Amino acid sequence: MKKNNFSFDNKITSFDLIYICFLYSTRLIRGFIYHRKIIGRGKGCNIYKSSLGRGVNIGNNVILNGIGSGGLVIGDNVSIGDCSVFKVSGTFIDIGRFIHIGNNVGIGEFSHIGGAGGVKIGESTIIGPYFSVHPENHLFNDLNIPIRKQGVSQKGINIGSNCWIGAKVTILDGVTIGDGCVIAAGSIVTKSFPDNVVIGGVPSKILKKRNNEK
**Coil vs helix vs strand at 31:** helix
What pLDDT score was predicted for residue 166?
98
Give the per-residue pLDDT at 34. 73
d(CA 84, CA 169): 14
* pLDDT confidence of residue 28: 78
Asked whether the predicted pLDDT for residue 3 surpasses 70, the reply is no
- In degrees rounded to 5, what are phi and psi of residue 21? -65, -40
DSSP conformational letter for 193: B
Rounded to 5 degrees, what angle do the CA atoms 169, 39, 77 make? 50
Name the amino acid, one letter, at 58. Answer: I
> Which pLDDT score is estimated for 168?
98
CA 132, CA 168: separation in Å to the nearest integer? 7
User: How many residues belong to the chain?
Assistant: 214
Can you tell me whether residue 41 is helix, strand or coil? strand
- Residues marked active site are found at 138
134-160 mean pLDDT: 94
Q: Confidence class of residue 177 from pLDDT cuts 50, 70 and 90?
A: very high
Other Cβ atoms less than 10 A from the Cβ of 118: the count is 22
Backbone dihedral angles phi then psi of residue 6, each to the nearest 5 degrees: -115, 135
Average pLDDT of the chain is 91
Instruction: Give the pLDDT confidence score for residue 15 in this predicted structure.
Output: 79
Residue percentage of the chain with pLDDT more than 70: 95
CATH 2.160.10.10 fits 40-209, yes or no: yes
Give the per-residue pLDDT at 213.
65
CB burial of 10-42 (b: ≥16 within 10 Å; e: otherwise) equals: eeeeeeeeeeeeeeeeebeebbeeeeeeebbbb
Of all residues in the chain, the percent with pLDDT exceeding 90 is 74
Give the lowest-confidence range in 23-32, 97-106, 152-161: 23-32
102-129 mean pLDDT: 98
pTM (2 d.p.):
0.86
**Per-residue pLDDT at 38:** 63
| CA–CA distance, 98 with 59 (Å, rounded to integer) | 21
pLDDT at 171 over 90: yes
Most confident range, picked from 29-33, 49-53, 156-160: 156-160
DSSP one-letter string for 124-184:
T-EE-TT-EEE--EE----TTS-GGGS-EE---EEE-SS-EE-TT-EEETT-EE-TT-EE-
Q: What is the pLDDT of residue 122?
A: 98
